Amino acid sequence: MKQRILPGFCLMLVLITTGCSTGENAEEAQTSGENEQTEKEDSGSENDAFPVEITDAADETVTLEKEPERIVSMIPSNTEIAYKLGLGEEIVGVSDHADYPEEAVGKEKIGGLQFNVEKIISLEPDLVLAHASSLQQSEQGLEQIEEAGINVLVVNEAASFQETYDSINMIAKAAGAQQEAQNIISSMKTDVENLREQASSISEEEKKTVWMEIQPPPDIYTTGSGTFQHKMLQLIHAKNAAASEEGWLPYTTEDAVKQSPEVIITTYGQSVEGNPAAQIKNRKGWSSVPAVENGDIYNVNSNLVSRPGPRLVEGAEKLAELIYPDVFNE
């Protein structure tokens, strides 16, 4: 991955999302063309008879002889997708960080970044849903699981709606849930287009500059170009204050203030003590920042804007309502 890796509680955010390197024009073209790009994939998403062959994100061919009855999901985004596809009963194990939907919390835990190989094997899964974001760290453990005769599918790392659709389709094909995937993706596309249509009324002069803070002091981090958060801001016609740089970035408080954001969005309110908005208002030197002067400081659940799954549209809608309440709350 090209982006920097964050310390502390933001580490999981980096592993769940990605920072692909794209230019501004390329990003806009990708966003505006997502419906057309996935039309071909969706048209072939009828349930196919097993066995099925899938080339996964590790460029390995995975052959499933029959529809899996026991599935282990190694990362929260895969878990959310699997549940949305109607595979809740098949899920027998999830990562320690799986917190949505509520039913996932009660499933057997298989560890976090350092997963428990023996635990996974003991659950006797037909399919293990791994993820490309942690492939280098987990390669040896995944090989052990494969040697035990268990199918391991490495799901692609997603940094756009299009790539999230690809993830959904890959998991659906492995589990025999292609029709469910088509319905989910169709609904997501419709919601994205609705946001794009509403945002079209916002002129260039009306675009607001937004500072997204994904880790507070003493080590402030924000999100630059090539990330989900950046592309969500583009979708709703907002300007990312850190758009000139790529990935997840460390910033000094002085440099952050220089961006003069009109809106500040934090994504760590569930992970720290106290009120992020109150803390930002009390920071030395921040009183002149337009967002602070106007009280436009909000917290958004990080999972909604960083976890590549069916709830991403919900995250984009939340950002839109907070940044442009007059446009998106009507």
Residue 277 falls inside a structural domain: yes
Band of the pLDDT at 273, cuts 50, 70, 90?
confident
Q: Are residues 19 and 70 in the same domain?
A: no
Task: Output the pTM of the full model.
Answer: 0.85
- In this predicted structure, which of 33-42, 269-278, 295-304 has the lowest mean pLDDT? 33-42
Q: How many structural domains comprise the chain?
A: 2
Block residue for tokens 């996974």:
120
CATH code, 185: 3.40.50.1980
Residues 15 and 85 placed together within one structural domain of the fold? no
Exposed, middle or buried, 285 (CB in 10 Å: 0-12/13-18/19+)?
Answer: exposed
User: 2 in a domain, yes or no?
Assistant: no
pLDDT digit string, tens, across residues 10-20: 434 334 333 33
The end-to-end CA distance of the chain, in Å, is 39
Comparing CA positions, the residue from 5, 19, 14 lying closest to residue 247 is: 19
What lies within 8 Å, CB to CB, of 79 at 6+ separation is 73, 91, 94, 95, 98, 100, 104, 129
Which residues constitute the domain of residue 310? 8-30+199-328
Whether residue 12 is found in the same domain as residue 129: no
User: Is the CB of residue 131 less than 8 Å from the CB of residue 115?
Assistant: no
Torsion of Cα atoms, 181 then 186 then 191 then 195, to 10°: 120
Amino acid at 169: N
Question: Could you read off the pLDDT of 79-91 as tens digits, one per residue?
Answer: 999 999 999 999 9
In a domain, 205, yes or no: yes
Distance between CA 172 and CA 180 in Å, rounded?
Answer: 8
